[in-house]
Structure 1
Amino acid sequence: MCRWAAYIGAPIFMDGLVTSPGHSLVHQSRAASECKTALNGDGVGVAWYGERAEPGLYRDVYPAWSDPNLKALCTTVKSHAFMAHVRASTGSATSRNNCHPFACRRWSFMHNGQVGGFDRFRRLADMGVSDALYPHRRGATDSELLFLYAIEEGLERAPELAMIAAHARLEAMSRANGTTPHLRSSAAWMDGERLFVLRYSTDHIAPTVYYRRGPDDLGWFVVSEPPELGQAGWTELPAGHLAAFSNAGVVLTPMSETVATAA
């Protein structure tokens, strides 16, 4: 399982979440405490928003703990919205194109989890991406497909419903052609103004997600694991829920309620 962290609010330097804390994302890349494997050394990536609509993107195959460019980037770049990810592969190759976050137009996306038996139906799943969008399919992961499916499902007009629909498509493929657990997911996606998070599983093991408001209403921090061990003030996102973060606050919604409201 991977680890990730995201932020939206007043501009801050990215090292305050990614590299500097005692249990920062870099520390979690070799000593995670709330996932199946403590080691997440199959690549690292950061997406951040600045003066333009499209995010900046840095990804590489180095383990986060041995990537000097990551540290230099995070201590230099100040952003009001960013996300970072350390990867533990569930089967696909260690390559830059398979590293998170993924970006398309103004959206960025990252994921922790798995689609059961994905290798058995990857070709079928790839065929679900339209010809117009397929040039953005640069890697081989189920995570990238989740992102592209969400774009196909209308991420621009309905960010939450589109992501639920994307999960439903891959879950259905896993049930028909794959293995259990059919889907485990903690996913985060943003457009520079809003941050959305989903936590879901077809079994009782949903990847962890926590969130917290920063001091003096600085902004929202959303993480797989708190950046300081034992730190108080973090709220766990319930499984089967969505959270939408913005300057106006946070809105939590059960996934089932989101689908029912849209219907």
Structure 2
Amino acid sequence: MCRWAAYRGDPLYLEELVSSPAHSLIEQSHCATRAPSATNGDGFGIAWYGDRPEPGRYRDVLPAWSDCNLKSLARQIRSPLFLAHVRAATNGGTRRDNCHPFVHENWSFMHNGQIAGFDRLRRQLENMLDDRLFHARAGSTDSELLFLLALQLGLKEKPLEAMSETIAFVERLSRHLTGEALVRFTAAFSDGDVLYAVRYATDRRAPTLYAAPMGTGGGYCLVSEPLNDEADTWVEIPDGSAVVLSENGLDAALFKPDDTDAAELVAAQ
């Protein structure tokens, strides 16, 4: 399982999540405490928003703890919205194209989790993409494909609904092809204005997600595990939840895959 951190609020130096805290994301890359594996050394990435609509991005296959460039960038870059990720590979080799966050136009996405039996589902899932999104696929992970499927299903117009339809479709297809479905999905995604997160799993064992206020002006961070030992600061987001961080602050709601159209999509495969 991977570890990630995201922030939205007044501009903040990336180091305040990535490298400075006692249990920073870099620290979690070799000493995670709330994941099956303590080591997340299969690459890392950061995506941040500035003056342009599309995010900047830096990724590499080195472990986050061994890349001095990451610490230098995190110390210099200030952003009102950014995503950062350290990877423990489950699907896809250790290569830059498989490192999160993934970006498309002004959207960014990162994920912690898995799709069981992904190799049996991959071809059918890729067939759902139109030519433009199919050719945008650069890596081989289930995470990138989930992101592109959500874009195909309307992420730009209806972010949470599209993600719900995406997960529902994957579950339906998995049951159709393998007789069972196991999806574990804790993800963050943004259009550069609003930051969204979802924690969900078919077996109720979704990877962890926590929220805490940060910075000034109503800023919040979302993390896989707390960045310090101040227990009263951190609120665990329950399994089956969606979080929306906007100029209005933090809102949370129930998240459940909507299979209204999933059956028709599966039947068409």
| Structure 1 and Structure 2 fold alike (TM over 0.5) | yes
- The TM-score, its normalising length taken from structure 2, stands at 0.92
CA-CA distance at 1:257 after TM superposition: 9.6
1:116–1:179: 8 Å Cα contact kept in structure 2? no
Q: Please give the alpha-carbon distance, in whole angstroms, between the structure 1 residues aligned to 2:197 and 2:149.
A: 16
Residue segments in structure 1 that go unaligned for 5+ positions in a row: none
- Which residue in 2 is equivalent to 1:251? 251
Q: What secondary structure does 2:156 align onto?
A: coil
Residue segments in structure 2 that go unaligned for 5+ positions in a row: 261-269
- Which residue in 2 is equivalent to 1:50? 50
- Which residue in 2 is equivalent to 1:24? 24
Q: Please give the alpha-carbon distance, in whole angstroms, between the structure 2 residues aligned to 1:177 and 1:258.
A: 19
Q: What secondary structure does 2:233 align onto?
A: coil
- Which residue in 2 is equivalent to 1:8? 8
Q: Please give the alpha-carbon distance, in whole angstroms, between the structure 2 residues aligned to 1:180 and 1:10.
A: 44
Note if 1:239 corresponds to 2:269: no
Q: Please give the alpha-carbon distance, in whole angstroms, between the structure 2 residues aligned to 1:170 and 1:258.
A: 11
- Structure 2: which amino acid aligns with 1:160? L
Q: Please give the alpha-carbon distance, in whole angstroms, between the structure 1 residues aligned to 2:98 and 2:5.
A: 18
**Aligned 1:1-263 pairs, distance under 5 A:** 1-178=1-178, 182-256=182-256
Q: What secondary structure does 2:89 align onto?
A: coil
Q: Please give the alpha-carbon distance, in whole angstroms, between the structure 2 residues aligned to 1:234 and 1:33.
A: 15
- Structure 2: which amino acid aligns with 1:99? C
Distance 1:167 1:147, change over 3 A: same
Which segment is superposed worse, 143-152 or 123-132?
Answer: 123-132
- Structure 1: which amino acid aligns with 2:65? W
CA-CA distance at 1:54 after TM superposition: 0.3
- Structure 1: which amino acid aligns with 2:148? L
CA-CA distance at 1:179 after TM superposition: 7.7
- The TM-score, its normalising length taken from structure 1, stands at 0.94
Question: What are the Cα deviations for residues 97-141 of structure 1, in whole angstroms up to 9, with x where unaligned?
Answer: 000000001100000000011012222221121112112110001
Question: What are the Cα deviations for residues 29-48 of structure 1, in whole angstroms up to 9, with x where unaligned?
Answer: 01101111111000000000
Distance 1:258 1:129, change over 3 A: closer
Which segment is superposed worse, 134-143 or 180-189?
Answer: 180-189
Percent of residue pairs identical: 47
